[in-house]
Amino acid sequence: MQYSYLLNYLAVAVGGALGALSRSMIYQWFARSGNDHLFPLPTLAVNVVGSFLMGIGWYCLVEKSLLPPIWKDVLTVGFLGALTTFSTFSLDVFRLLQSDRFIEAVAYTLCSVFICLLGTWLGYIGARGLIN
């Protein structure tokens, strides 16, 4: 295997470790509130924040090439890939449906999709406005 592939894999691993730790800290912060009614807000929070950061990252790293290409792997694939939790989102919706909380499941799904898309767009627009 070539050296550049190994470096990219290492970059993804380091970014992923930092993203996973960040996600864990966000979940712990919500858990310490002691409010069980916050479920599934931790997942929504990391997905919205991750989507916003993805918009910034895409603009800065891909469109403007402000950092070397390896940073795209560190930040978008590694960090944000581990921070955001679409698989957990799917499980949260499933659990809401299992609990006969259909309206909450639909509302959570719609909020997650639309707010995360809005977050990506706002991050992109914000980065474009600050950097141009």
Residue 40, preceding peptide bond in cis (omega within 30° of 0)? yes
Query: What is the predicted pLDDT for the residue at 85?
Result: 80
When divided into structural domains, the chain yields a total of: 1
Can you give the residue range of the structural domain that contains 119?
3-131
Query: Per the confidence metrics, is the pTM higher than 0.95?
Result: no
Query: What is the predicted pLDDT for the residue at 120?
Result: 95
Question: Within a 13 Å sphere around the CA of 45, how many CA atoms are in the beta-carbon half?
Answer: 14
> Do 73 and 62 meet the contact criterion of CB atoms below 8 Å apart?
no
Across the range 50-68, mean pLDDT stands at: 93
pLDDT of residue 1 exceeding 70, the answer is: no
Tokens 């918009």 belong to residue? 55
Q: Which two tokens stand for residue 44?
A: 């929504």
User: Distances from the Cα of 35 to the Cαs of 29, 38, 39, 90, in angstroms?
Assistant: 11, 6, 8, 22
